[in-house]
Structure 1
Amino acid sequence: METLLDPALQSCPYAYYQRLRAESPVYRMPDTGFYLITNYELCREIIREPDIFVSGVTPMNLNPEAAPEEVSAIYRDHGWMPAASCSTSDPPRHTQVRALLSKLFTTAKVRSMVPHIRETAHHLVDGFMTGGECEFVNSFSHPLPMIIIAEQIGVSTRDLDTFKEWSDAIVEMFGMMISRQRQLECARLIVDMQHFFKQQIDLRREHPQDDLLTILADSRYENGQEIPMNELLTIVTVDLLASGNETTTAGISSGTMLLAEQPQLLATLKAEPELIPVFVEEVLRLESPAQGMFREVVKETTLGGTFFKPGDILSLRFGAANRDEAEFPDADQVNLQREKPGKHLAFGVGRHHCIGAPLARQEMLISFQVLIQRLEDIRLKYPAKAHPYTPSFFGRNLQALDIEFKAAR
């Protein structure tokens, strides 16, 4: 029996999603007991009822090989017990954290970052331009958002490899696809990251700088409450560092693979660069970087003909809902003339709409503008080879993307 916990199925889950939408849009996974919600309208309905379907679900504890006690001991004895992230919390914590994060990513702040994002994109292209080929994830789609968020936080970009190792540890824990031993390794890496940022926060309190760490170090919640260190560290490590780069990396990688696979698409965007913003939205819809998010039922309710009781766990499959033919004509195709291209659920809606969405969109937009301007004839170096994705119940991240190209004349 097919299961979404199979990495092979995760590498291309869309035919599976299509069958579920047609036959069982509310599908209970026999191996986990989770309910997969795969059509657009049902996902929207659940998101609109955040007090019935709450977000405070800890994905790490849902891993079939979960080791919550051993992991907790590592945090308790050597670091700080992580708090719930903004995306996996409910009021009042969610309200507090979202209010704080919203001050960090204002429209004016993101707009001010545009010249530096563009400069960084050009600099990264300069690094591989003359070779005519590159492994794109390591050369561009990973370093760009990591450089931007690291600089905004206020830490040296010389440590990008370490930040990636730490960020990967957080994402792997959320992805629910790692062994018990790897969970313990990830917990130790996260503790290392906690100590690094605890030291940085202490330094900012003594010597303020013009960065997000200084803002956070001096912040209190809106009710005047001091932010406990474990919550402050979760905001920095999960809500900023990991969330600030992983999904954007996935979006840039997926979009570049589409350009490499569809030469006419690249030609159209070269001729009509004003369509690149629509292309960004189509990439987000087609290859949703966050394939799913959990909700827990807290009140008896019926949805899509299925009765739910308190404690039932739902996985909203954004990757499926965003290809729902009932909502998006030609759902499996890039349509640069699509009406309301931002209607997808890639960033969520309502209370849990991703607060970093404006920055992610800007980074994707500038990346594709620079790549389309400077490269021609982008193609897969190994067209017959399957492209590996990081096994994850949550995300959709290409591990590597080997491309060839010509420098634009």
Structure 2
Amino acid sequence: MTELRDVDFFRDPNSVVSPYSYMDDLVQNSPVWIEPNYGVAMVAGYDEALTVMRETETYSAAPMIAGPTPDYGVEFTGDDIDEQLDAVRHRLPFNDQIVAMDPPQHTMRRALIMGLITPKRLKENEDFIWQLTDRQLDVVLPRGGCELVDDYAQPYALLVVADLLGVPEEDHPMLLEKAGVAANGSLTDTTKEPPKKHGGLEHFYEYFTDRVESRRREPKDDVLGRMAHATFPDGTLPEPLEAARIASNLFAAGQETTVRLLATALQIVGDDQGLQQKLRQDRGLIPKFIEEVLRWQGPIKGNMRVARKTTTLGGVHLKAGTQVFVMHGAAGRDPRQFDDPQGFDIERPNVRRHIAFGHGIHTCPGAPLARSEVRVTLERLLDRTSAIRISEAHHGPPDARRYDYLPSYMFRGLTKLHLEFDMEA
């Protein structure tokens, strides 16, 4: 479709609202395609996306969130740019975060993160999630409705990660304030703050650096204490700031994805009353529902890589230095992998094969948390209400809905979702 191919996917406002016509065209006709605006290789096919995510020696995550025209400061030359890339990584955004690292630096830091997210700790954290869910719902349900993103999802997602990392509850209000989220869920005024070098994570860096230093001076057998004394696989102890960065990565990774996934899931539930009744009658369908939401309209449209070596992908020649956009959202709609990919089917047998949370070494470490948060929220909302509806006053009637989406080529998600509730008698 020539008209679609002329679209600047990274800047076109219509692609923010409805990216799926573009994605479906690519995945069905050109699983790998060099778009004309920036020369980015758009990787829409499922198998091709897996190849990029698996072959870390060929594709670097350095420009993960740097956009289609990263400021490398140099023009890459030759068929192998590894040394050139390593010399300029420091210029790229989030270069100190694990999402933009490659092995062996990535391997060391991911091992430390996964050492914190143990099955035992996840179980303890889920106990907190159930308590927090009811605490948040106690605020919004009596109103008969809420704006889900700010009133519920933003503080909820942040506090779940805070608990996972052992932040004492007395510090939760302070973290909410520093993150620009009020305790009741409304956003505080952060417009006067200058842009943050590390994407707004400085407040987390400061907090966790202080706690790591404190636990090293006075050891305690708690989560923060274990974080403070966790070592890399080679036995070395990270500097306090490095440990703080690793902990902060969980906030960066979990906040946007969980908030947007929650909103999309409740948008679908509120819009489809028949599906809502199915979930009310059989809560065992909720995990399947969540996976289909992730496949069909996950919170990540895609992210960047750069070809470290000249290579071929899906029959397309890629010169070393080519920017590569891995389209998670398109890969989940590949008819070579999923039958009737544009349809929404909670009984889809292979739905867990989606790559909404990535694949390989860059699989989102917070994926289990996001799934738990959405599952528990849905269960308790269905328990405590008899109906969940989209607010027509804010979003229009069912045949003419109006929604605003994040102006982002990377994230897919609502900026607001107004819901109405009927309370369970």
- TM-score, L = length of structure 2: 0.82
User: SS where residue 369 of structure 1 aligns?
Assistant: helix
- Note closer, same or farther for the CA distance 1:260–1:82 as it changes in structure 2 (3 Å cut): closer
Tell me how far apart the structure 2 counterparts of residues 182 and 27 of structure 1 sit (CA, whole Å).
41
Cα deviations across residues 359-393 of structure 1 (Å, max 9, x unaligned)? 22122211111122222321111332522222222
Corresponding position: 1:151 with 2:163? yes
User: What is the aligned partner in structure 2 of residue 327 from structure 1?
Assistant: 337
User: What is the aligned partner in structure 2 of residue 251 from structure 1?
Assistant: 261
Asked if the contact 2:161/2:251 (under 8 Å) is kept, the reply is yes
- Note closer, same or farther for the CA distance 1:314–1:387 as it changes in structure 2 (3 Å cut): same
User: SS where residue 392 of structure 1 aligns?
Assistant: coil
TM-superposed CA distance for 1:401, in Å, is 0.5
User: What is the aligned partner in structure 2 of residue 401 from structure 1?
Assistant: 417
User: What is the aligned partner in structure 2 of residue 309 from structure 1?
Assistant: 319
Choose from 209, 224, 247 the match for 1:236: 247
User: SS where residue 365 of structure 2 aligns?
Assistant: coil
TM-superposed CA distance for 1:258, in Å, is 0.5
Tell me how far apart the structure 1 counterparts of residues 252 and 178 of structure 2 sit (CA, whole Å).
9
The aligned runs of 1:290-301 (5 Å cut-off) are 290-301=300-311
Question: What residue identity is the alignment partner of 1:241?
Answer: F
User: What is the aligned partner in structure 1 of residue 7 from structure 2?
Assistant: 2
User: SS where residue 307 of structure 1 aligns?
Assistant: strand
User: What is the aligned partner in structure 2 of residue 169 from structure 1?
Assistant: none
Question: What residue identity is the alignment partner of 2:362?
Answer: H
Tell me how far apart the structure 2 counterparts of residues 377 and 398 of structure 1 sit (CA, whole Å).
21
Tell me how far apart the structure 2 counterparts of residues 7 and 285 of structure 1 sit (CA, whole Å).
23
- TM-score, L = length of structure 1: 0.85
User: What is the aligned partner in structure 2 of residue 187 from structure 1?
Assistant: 197
Choose from 3, 8, 24 the match for 2:30: 24
RMSD: 2.7
Identity %: 28
Tell me how far apart the structure 1 counterparts of residues 40 and 149 of structure 2 sit (CA, whole Å).
32
Tell me how far apart the structure 1 counterparts of residues 193 and 314 of structure 2 sit (CA, whole Å).
36
The aligned runs of 1:57-206 (5 Å cut-off) are 57-60=63-66, 62=67, 83-153=95-165, 154=167, 156-165=171-180, 185-187=195-197, 189-206=200-217
TM-superposed CA distance for 1:235, in Å, is 1.1
Tell me how far apart the structure 1 counterparts of residues 116 and 229 of structure 2 sit (CA, whole Å).
13
In the comparison of the two structures, how many residue pairs are matched? 383
Question: What residue identity is the alignment partner of 1:165?
Answer: G
Asked if the contact 1:152/1:211 (under 8 Å) is kept, the reply is no
Tell me how far apart the structure 2 counterparts of residues 222 and 198 of structure 1 sit (CA, whole Å).
21
Q: Which segments of 5 or more consecutive residues in structure 1 lack a partner in the other structure?
A: 69-75, 167-180
- Note closer, same or farther for the CA distance 1:330–1:405 as it changes in structure 2 (3 Å cut): farther
Asked if the contact 2:302/2:327 (under 8 Å) is kept, the reply is yes
Tell me how far apart the structure 1 counterparts of residues 192 and 72 of structure 2 sit (CA, whole Å).
10
TM-superposed CA distance for 1:256, in Å, is 0.3
Q: Which segments of 5 or more consecutive residues in structure 2 lack a partner in the other structure?
A: 1-5, 74-89, 182-190
User: SS where residue 254 of structure 2 aligns?
Assistant: coil
